[in-house]
Structure 1
Amino acid sequence: MGYVLAVTGYKPHEIGIQSNNHPQLPFLKRAVKKKLAAVIDDLGVEWVVVSGQMGVELWAAEALLDMKSDLNVKLAVLKPFYHQDERWPDEWKVYYESVCQRADYTDTISKRPYDSPAQLRMKNEFIIEKTDGLLVLYDEWTPGSPSYYIEAAEKKAEYKMYDIMYLTPDEIQDMIHEEAEHHHEEIDNEDGF
């Protein structure tokens, strides 16, 4: 089997994105897509794996689905437990269902509804164990949920070759500035990431 890449990052509220109309969200999505395409190309990725959580994982899955006609890569959504989206806002439920329906493979790791935080830890460890590398949107100065994935990845890297690649807020800012220069536009960047 070829290279299998896990992708994760912040949930929307962890980076101040309260809705799908946030002015910087299109830039964030383009940065995720650009980085994902580069990693897929560089490493010959055959599968991308996400757990389907709100935020970066669903944005990356959407980006991959948009690029599938140009790339020979498949998407797997490995949900941590049944009804992961049960308490999500309706717009995220629709988004999640759309991604799951278009994925090449979906399954649930814990074959029951949520009953313990241990299911989330088990999901991180399972996905890291089944993959060759992790692409993560993370900034060490902004702690959040991606740190649990990184911890599992670093643990695996101690005994087996495992790539940990980052998409940083600085890369996103650079892309925003490049696009602004390219389009000669002023982009309000006070909110930051």
Structure 2
Amino acid sequence: MKRLWITGYRSYELGVFDDNDPKLTVIKVVLRDLITSAIESGYNWIITGGQMGIEQWTIEVASELKAQYPSEFQIALMTPFTEFGNQWNERNQLKLKAVQAKADFAATVSNQPYRTPQQLRNYQEFMLKHTDGAAMIYDVEKQGKGQYDYQAIHNYMQDHDYQLRMIDFDDLQEAANEYQENQNNSFQ
């Protein structure tokens, strides 16, 4: 069994506030390529959290890929504590419920509501110990909340055989350029 943890920026850190944002189209193309490559490399679990942004988009894209790879992989959504997302507005809570419904497996690491930052560190430790590698859409030059996961992964890699695939802003810009070029070519 090979399991890949996918995480990265929150939607607001990328300035994506609408499902029709052109940036989201490119991000989903990048996620589709990433997940497809992982599946074809033998990963059979895509594991992520429930944060708005890369994590929820990962589940949406992976769910769409189920039609192409019906039995090759499963999707897991892990949250750090119970009542995760309860403080969000109703629209965002509904989005979380929608992606939870698309996952093959959903659970929490802590069986208590949020009480302390240690629950977040325990979540990172759980994710690291229950995956074989990670992929992040994250740029160390432009820090965000993902910096904590990046640091935990980087520290874990020092003593463990664990791979990290980074997709930074240069990679996203290259993907946007390719996407735009493909769109222009389809109109000719």
TM-score using structure 1 length: 0.88
Match in the other structure for 1:20: 19
The equivalent position to 1:59 in structure 2, one of 45, 57, 60, is 57
Distance 2:35 2:129 in 1: 20
Match in the other structure for 1:80: 80
Tell me if the contact between 1:4 and 1:46 (Cα under 8 Å) persists in the aligned partners: yes
- Kindly, what percent of the aligned residue pairs are identical? 28
Residue 46 (str. 1) matches residue 38 (str. 2): no
Q: How does 1:98-137 map to 2 (within 5 A)?
A: 98-137=98-137
SS of 2:85 mapped into structure 1: coil
Distance 2:90 2:173 in 1: 30
Q: Unaligned 5+ residue runs, structure 2? A: none
Query: How far has the Cα of 1:140 moved from its partner?
Result: 1.3
Match in the other structure for 1:160: 160
Residue 69 (str. 1) matches residue 67 (str. 2): yes
Indicate the RMSD between aligned Cα atoms, in angstroms. 1.5
Distance 1:169 1:69 in 2: 29
Letter in 2 for 1:27: V
Distance 1:54 1:66 in 2: 18
Tell me if the contact between 1:47 and 1:76 (Cα under 8 Å) persists in the aligned partners: yes
Q: How does 1:28-43 map to 2 (within 5 A)?
A: 28-42=27-41
Letter in 1 for 2:27: L
Q: Unaligned 5+ residue runs, structure 1? A: 186-193
Query: How far has the Cα of 1:18 moved from its partner?
Result: 2.7
Tell me if the contact between 1:128 and 1:149 (Cα under 8 Å) persists in the aligned partners: no
SS of 2:166 mapped into structure 1: strand
Match in the other structure for 1:190: none
Aligned residues: 183
SS of 2:126 mapped into structure 1: helix
